[in-house]
Structure 1
């Protein structure tokens, strides 16, 4: 894990482009604001001759789940519980939504100082975990993400938050044994096109 003295970075909360912002949705008649999932950027020094810009984008999976994870038959799910952006249809998930509001952006901002596990080195994607409960029980909020060099802009990396949800059954055996990587190391390898092995 890296300390603040090893990583220099600063949040640059630039206004998101229209494609980097979710429209508000309504769940059972209650409006959900999704502005906490607006894209944002930060600058980080990776030792590559000046600051690098990192664009953070969030997926709808941070507040919705797949139909296959709903106990109900698809035709029994009310229309006011379905999210449809024209690309994906998913079931709105109140727990994912509330956790994203309470924790997700802060977790992403703290990535330079968090423990990061290599979730899948073939894709590659990564996960960081937050223990939520303070009563002695354990609930692990997992934030899955990937990074890629931006081909359209120089000195920019795109960080996509793929999904974020509670691991109901805790870590898998593979996740427990997976390799770890520092955030700056991950971004540097991504920018230079090097593979991260875990």
Structure 2
């Protein structure tokens, strides 16, 4: 709910809200306002993509926690997968928007790429596509390594290193052990 309310606040501050169009016999029809390169005039537009992806990822992790409590809930597994796929979609859209924008610097583009690849790797991991997840997470790890080396800010460097070591490497280790168990 935090991400949803933050998304609403940012949309409201940017005057980039979704609209309702009046339609005959209906009070209102929802019209989604999608983000394009022409609309990208403020750095807060990056937050829209980030919070949209984070909202979907948080919903997926919530479904996963519920599923661990009661593994018989098949619908929760489907819901988790759907939320993860949508999170990947929003992260990829954010990455494309940042990559094609001349206002964003190289570290921002790398960070958006790392986030999108990491989220795609997590999605493939949860979908049990081990080889695809391994490749994506390995790519995310190398991008985080490059980010840690390129930055002069020690706080950011430590953040990227911890992200690389604790998140990505642990998942890569699990995938390798899963692949080894499948092969043997």
Higher fraction of strand: 1
TM-score, shorter chain, exceeding 0.5: no
Q: TM-score, normalised by structure 2?
A: 0.29
Higher fraction of helix: 2
